Amino acid sequence: IVVSEWNEKITGALLDGAVTTLKKHGAKDENILIKTVPGSFELTFGASQMMEYCELDAVIIIGCVIKGDTPHFDYVCMGVT
């Protein structure tokens, strides 16, 4: 799991839910890798690094972007997708 540190109140709750769900369906603690990145924009880089350097079955990315009055939301969303 790659999770954004920005807006930790939201991303932390989403992370807790993802880990709980994985465990509920049989994933073992030692098989759940969690790496953090500063913000949502860095999620794709963090995911690509995990895919390159770790033996994985799947990658889950968790981030949060809040739309405000500036185009920042659009730039981050375009960069991540």
Terminus-to-terminus CA distance in the chain, angstroms?
17
Handedness of CA 29, 30, 35, 40 (dihedral sign): negative
72 belongs to the catalytic site = yes
Catalytic residue among 23, 35, 67, 72: 72
Phi, psi of 61 (to 5 degrees): -115, 140
Q: Which residues have a catalytic role annotated? A: 72
